[in-house]
């Protein structure tokens, strides 16, 4: 019996790989360009939409390739409707989460790079569940296309509605069109640098100017502090933003919260970040989940200020999002204010980030955890 050939996942292919596939099928070179544009500019959801392709080619594509692999399982909107979270299932049963957050002037999607995560950070819902597997570049890209497609469909609907009401298009509205994603953050499930090559392939694919054409400066990759990944990114020659999840400024505390710190302690991590800044001239962000009585003390704030002194950086403070397997709580307002005042008097730029979508478990890995707990 002839073994069934596995269908090719189109979103896993670079443009060159797509071109060689069509070449091997004896198709003219321009077909790859047409399909690439349909995938990443037209956001096609089916081959039938690719009406410029001959029917025979559409049939072959439908037989031998697949367009998308993600099926949305649970979809939730926060009570203020500004945050939307989706739990996707993959054909092998792996699950990943992605979130879309709408602000006044921004539409940010937060996507996953692995199903689960093997880094075991104690306070993180994803870490508490362990690693299922790495995602492919196509599975990473598809999460973005899902929301982009949805935003586009939504804006077409509202256009039709306002045309029906005979409205002028609101040219004075300073907000970006609702159809536009403005930021992509790789801060969902998983450690991006533990899946480095597919993650960078996804970033480059989204950035491709003949495709999705999403500015690298509007993408952010967040790492738990895998030093080899930071070193590699420094020489990629791409203007993506780097965020480093620090959470503690002393090795004994950091190793408790972020176990990988034992392998890459602060004395290795901070020099690697400084080197990255020297090489790229790019400002780095440090993430800090504020945990009541744990890492929100004046001592930690002072140690943090000392670590970051003179560095081109910014600290993002996020009150802990409580998870079922970690006893810690978010810091109180007073403690946050005291922590920030230490940073401010040391001249360390910092922002307190709002916790979005708490009511829909929009924290990293929390929707999957809740689905499991039920």
- Which residues from 183-222 bind ligand SF4, rule CB under 6 A? 190-191
Which stretch, 121-129, 144-152, 176-184, 345-353, contacts ligand SF4 (CB under 6 A)? Answer: 121-129
Q: Residue 218: which of 318, 70, 105 has the closest Cα?
A: 105
The catalytically annotated residue of 17, 52, 97, 139 is 97
Residue 247 · residue 303 · CB < 8 Å: no
What is the x/- site pattern for ligand SAH, positions 222-261, by CB under 6 A?
xxx--------------------x----------------
Q: Which stretch binds ligand SF4 (CB under 6 A): 68-76, 118-126, 144-152, 248-256?
A: 118-126
- If binding is defined by CB under 6 A, does position 318 make contact with ligand SAH? yes
Residue with tokens 């992605």: 98
Q: Mark 77-116 with x for binding to ligand SF4 (rule: CB under 6 A) and - for no binding.
A: ----------------------------------------
Sign of CA dihedral 37, 39, 45, 48: positive
Residues 177-196 that bind ligand SAH (CB under 6 A): 187, 191
Shortest spacing between CB 288 and ligand SAH, in angstroms = 8
Q: Which of 40, 123, 196, 286 binds ligand SAH (CB under 6 A)?
A: 123
Q: Residue 119 interacts with ligand SF4 (CB under 6 A)?
A: yes
Which of 276, 268, 271 minimizes the C-alpha distance to 232? 276
Residue 54 and residue 63: Cα distance in Å, rounded?
14
Give the separation between CA 319 and CA 347, rounded to whole angstroms.
21
> Is 364 assigned a catalytic role?
yes
Residue 97 interacts with ligand SAH (CB under 6 A)?
Answer: no
- Interface of this chain with ligand SAH, residues 342 to 371, rule: CB under 6 A: 363-364
Measured CA to CA in angstroms, residue 291 lies from 127, 155, 210, 327, 349 at distances of: 17, 40, 44, 10, 20
How many residues are present in the chain? Answer: 374
- Smallest distance, ligand SAH to C-beta of residue 363, A: 5
Four-residue CA torsion sign, 44, 46, 52, 56: positive
Structure tokens at 314: 């910014």
Chain residues 204-223 in contact with ligand SAH, contact rule CB under 6 A: 222-223
Q: Is 97 a catalytic residue?
A: yes
Nearer to ligand SAH, 241 or 321 (CB): 321
The pair of structure tokens assigned to 68 is 């998308």
126 binds ligand SF4 (CB under 6 A): yes
CA 36/CA 188 separation, integer angstroms: 26
DSSP string, 171-230: TT--SPPTT---EEEE-SSS-GGGGHHHHHHHHHHHH-TTTT---GGGEEEEES--HHHH
**Residue 124 binds ligand SAH (CB under 6 A):** yes
Interacting span for ligand SAH (CB under 6 A) from 117-125, 204-212, 270-278, 343-351: 117-125
Residue reference for tokens 């190793």? 255
Q: Does 181 bind ligand SF4 (CB under 6 A)?
A: no
Residue listed under structure tokens 């367009």: 67
State the residues that interact with ligand SAH by CB under 6 A: 117, 123-124, 187, 191, 222-224, 245, 287, 289, 318, 320-321, 323, 363-364
Catalytic positions, written as ranges:
97, 364
């Amino acid at each position: 019996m002839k073994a069934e050939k596995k269908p090719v996942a189109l979103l896993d292919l670079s443009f060159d790989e797509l071109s060689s596939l069509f070449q091997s099928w004896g198709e003219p070179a321009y077909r790859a360009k047409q399909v690439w544009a349909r995938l990443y500019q037209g956001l096609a959801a089916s081959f039938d939409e690719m009406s410029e392709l001959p029917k025979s080619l559409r049939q072959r594509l439908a037989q031998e390739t697949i367009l998308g692999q993600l099926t949305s399982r649970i979809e939730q909107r926060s009570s203020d409707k500004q945050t939307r979270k989706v739990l996707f299932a993959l054909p092998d049963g792996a699950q990943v989460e992605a979130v879309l957050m709408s602000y006044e002037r921004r539409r940010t999607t937060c996507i996953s790079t692995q199903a689960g995560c093997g880094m075991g950070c104690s306070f993180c819902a994803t870490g508490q569940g362990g690693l299922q597997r790495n995602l492919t570049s196509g599975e990473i890209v598809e999460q973005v296309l899902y929301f982009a497609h949805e935003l586009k469909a939504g804006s077409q609907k509202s256009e039709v509605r306002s045309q029906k009401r005979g409205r002028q298009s609101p040219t004075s509205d300073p907000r970006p069109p609702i159809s536009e994603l403005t930021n992509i953050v790789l801060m969902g499930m998983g450690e991006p640098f533990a899946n480095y090559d597919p993650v960078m392939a996804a970033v480059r694919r989204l950035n491709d100017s003949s495709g999705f054409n999403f500015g690298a400066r509007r993408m952010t990759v967040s790492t738990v502090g895998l030093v080899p990944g930071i070193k590699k990114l420094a020489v990629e020659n791409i203007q993506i933003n780097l965020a480093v999840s620090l959470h503690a400024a002393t090795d004994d505390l950091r190793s408790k919260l972020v176990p990988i710190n034992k392998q890459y302690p602060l004395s290795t991590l901070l020099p690697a970040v400084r080197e990255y800044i020297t090489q790229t001239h790019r400002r780095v962000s440090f993430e800090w989940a504020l945990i009541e009585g744990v890492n929100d003390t004046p001592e930690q704030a002072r140690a943090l200020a000392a670590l970051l002194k003179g560095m081109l950086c910014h600290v993002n403070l996020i009150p802990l999002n409580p998870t079922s397997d970690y006893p810690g709580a978010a810091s109180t307002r007073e403690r946050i204010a005291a922590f920030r005042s230490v940073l401010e008097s040391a001249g360390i730029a910092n922002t307190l980030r709002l916790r979005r979508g708490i009511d829909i478990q929009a924290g990293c890995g929390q929707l999957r955890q809740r689905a499991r707990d039920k």
